[in-house]
Amino acid sequence: MTARLSKKPIALVAGASDRIGRAMALHLARHGYSIAITYRSNIKGAQESADLISQYSPVVTIPVELGTCNQPDMHSLIKEISCQLEAPVKLIIYSASFFERSNAVDLDYQHLLANFNIHTFAPMLMAQALYHHLQTFPQPAKGNFIAMCDQRVYRRTTTRVAYELSKKSLLEFCRIAALSFADSMRVNTISPGAILQATSETDEEFQRLISKGVPLKCQGSVENILQTLDFLLQCEYLTGVDIPVDGGEHLQG
């Protein structure tokens, strides 16, 4: 872990070695946060993220296998980041994910577990750790936990069953957490649709999805996610809400 000292509030973006996580971390760096990013295996990508972010703010990069983190790990992670950057962690964006196919007929237990570990259990423990971290400051300003969900939480599809179930559980947890942690933090979610093509999707699949599944008939942009992030952070009377950023895809049943 490397760091430059800072007193700015810290935003931790979990899963920021590339794509949407990187964009959110960079955006927050430009808007007054010190940044901590986690990644799992993409060292080069994480370094590129850190190089971009460091033009605007101090940054620490931490390799973490979030799928096996337990409660003490999460508490240590947040405490360590706070010590390194000499400020409270005020915001966590949980963006880590993988997007693989599975169907109900031959759903594999290990695949199911891996999905729940990364999409449900790790963000649950991270939100809980943030809550306890905020209690350690005498007069804490409210913190924010924002989890990246998916518009699929409003639908029933049959091709990525473990992914979809684990994201649905995440959404429900975040609503419970919004109630449970309301004295110290707001908890909200963003549910993207067709923003960036997944590596597990072919060009043809992605284009078919946009033409047939997205009512607005166009791909969304990372900028749309950043606009939503800004709104969730600025509107201090919001907690326990999910915002689908999906051109209406969640309406398709």
Ligand X SMILES: NC(=O)c1ccc[n+]([C@@H]2O[C@H](COP(=O)([O-])OP(=O)(O)OC[C@H]3O[C@@H](n4cnc5c(N)ncnc54)[C@H](OP(=O)(O)O)[C@@H]3O)[C@@H](O)[C@H]2O)c1
The DSSP line for 77-112 is HHHHHHHHHTS-EEEEEE-------B-STT--HHHH
| Closest distance of CB 57 from ligand X, Å | 19
Question: Among residues 41 and 159, whose Cβ is nearest to ligand X?
Answer: 41
Other beta carbons within 10 angstroms of residue 22's beta carbon come to 24
Contact pick of 10, 12, 17, 34 for ligand X (by CB under 6 A): 17
- Residues 232, 243 contacting (CB under 8 angstroms): yes
> Pattern 24-43, binding to ligand X, x per CB under 6 A?
---------------xxxx-
| 169 contacts ligand X (rule: CB under 6 A) | no
The DSSP line for 103-165 is -STT--HHHHHHHHIIIIIHHHHHHHHHHHHHHTSSSPPPEEEEEE--GGGGS--SSBHHHHH
| Closest distance of CB 33 from ligand X, Å | 18
| 213 contacts ligand X (rule: CB under 6 A) | no
What torsion do the CA atoms of 109, 18, 46, 233 make, to the nearest 10 degrees? Answer: -100
Q: How far apart are the first and last CA of the chain?
A: 45
| 196 contacts ligand X (rule: CB under 6 A) | yes
Question: Among residues 7 and 44, whose Cβ is nearest to ligand X?
Answer: 44
Question: Among residues 68 and 103, whose Cβ is nearest to ligand X?
Answer: 68
33, amino acid identity: Y
| 206 contacts ligand X (rule: CB under 6 A) | no
The DSSP line for 35-78 is EEEEESS-HHHHHHHHHHHTTTS-EEEEE--GGG--HHHHHHHH
Stretch that binds ligand X, among 13-21, 53-61, 80-88, 124-132 (CB under 6 A): 13-21
Contact pick of 31, 48, 86, 98 for ligand X (by CB under 6 A): 98
Contacts (CB under 6 A) with ligand X, residues 101-160: 118, 148, 150
| 21 contacts ligand X (rule: CB under 6 A) | yes
How far apart (Å, rounded) are the C-alpha atoms in residues 141 and 163? 34
> Pattern 57-86, binding to ligand X, x per CB under 6 A?
-------xxxx-------------------
Residues that bind ligand X (CB under 6 A): 15-21, 39-42, 64-67, 95-99, 118, 148, 150, 192, 194-196
